[in-house]
A and B are shown apart, each in its own frame.
Chain A
Amino acid sequence: MEDKDPIRFITTAEAFAKAIISSGEKPVPETMYDQYITALMRELDGKFCLAYLYPKTTPQYMELLKRIYNVIEETYQYGLLCSNATKLKETLFLVKTLGSVRLAPPADFNFEEIKDIKLQ
């Protein structure tokens, strides 16, 4: 079985968000939408909520945390200005999926190490 990759997960989520936002009020083409969802679910073992990702190191943990946060915010801000119901459902799905992901702390995880790093 192919190994799951948390970085591939967030890269796919970012591409999905970009597709949602850049297509304006038009829904993401159905085939593309299905491909994104399939790719995301593959990394999450098919779980739509409380799925775990396993970053290997603290820097990777931090990178994932920031990128997940940024995609949620970017997508959410877009959704607030959107008036197309289909697009809003796409946005909601992505926000819910990303927001439900849990990051398992890596073996070398150390809160002290990340204390002073800023989000932006």
Chain B
Amino acid sequence: MECTKSRRFVDSLDILTKKMLTAAEDNVTIWETSLDQYNAAVKECLLDHEPNASSTSSEPTTPVEYYTGVKFIDPLNYSELSEYSSRLSRCVTDLCNYADHCDHPKKLRTILAIVRSVLQIVARMPAENNPNIPN
């Protein structure tokens, strides 16, 4: 299966979450490489949706983007939409649950930044028109 940018982004978050959850509190080197890869994936995802790559204006075009600075991922179909939503939500939950028991300020600040960035992600509706999507 072709690996899309959206899937790479979600995969990178999964990997980073696992590293954060399993690394010793002060062992930054365990997760900082994954953090770099995640940040690169966020950037790639955001740049992919700039309104006009040749334009000097950085203003987004849609009201939602304008107000919240959201970044989009593009599931290919409803199955992917469901999968991505579930995985993003699971990562945020796992990171926040982990943070409740973490006392390392740098790790907590990193989790804060990751959670904020994930909450800005919106999955676009896939082109596929499936009448059987559960509400």
Q: Taking A69-B68, A99-B116, A100-B119 as contacts, is the C-beta distance between A92 and B63 under 8 angstroms?
A: no
User: Which of B89, B93, B96, B120 is close to A92, meaning CB atoms less than 8 Å apart?
Assistant: B96
Assign chain A's interface to a size class: 20 to 34
B105 contacts which of A66, A88, A100 (Cβ < 8 Å)? A88
Question: Hey, which chain B residues are within 8 Å of A85, CB to CB?
Answer: 102-105, 108
Whether B67 lies near A69 (C-beta < 8 A) is yes
Provide the bound-state CA to CA distance between A103 and B13, in Å: 26
Minimum CB–CB distance from A78 to chain B (whole Å) comes to: 10
Distance of A84 Cα from B93 Cα, bound (Å): 22
Contact B100 A82 (CB under 8 A): no
Give chain A nearest CB distance to B59 CB in angstroms: 10
CB distance from A114 to the nearest CB of B (A): 5
Q: Which range contains the number of B residues in contact with the other chain?
A: 20 to 34
- Judge whether B109 is part of the interface by a CB distance below 8 angstroms: yes
Residue of B nearest to A78 (CB): B112
Smallest beta-carbon distance B49→chain A, Å = 18
Measured CB to CB, the closest approach of chain B to A34, in angstroms, equals 15
> Closest approach, in angstroms, between the C-beta of B69 and any C-beta of chain A?
8
Known: A49-B89, A49-B93. A92 touches B99 (CB 8 A): yes
- Top 4 nearest A-B pairs (CB, nearest first) are A99-B119, A88-B108, A85-B103, A83-B105
- Give A contacts to B, CB under 8 Å: 49-50, 65-66, 69, 72, 76, 79-80, 82-85, 88-89, 91-93, 95-96, 99-100, 111, 114-115, 118-119
5 A-B pairs in the complex with CB atoms less than 8 angstroms apart: A92-B99, A93-B96, A99-B119, A111-B63, A119-B67
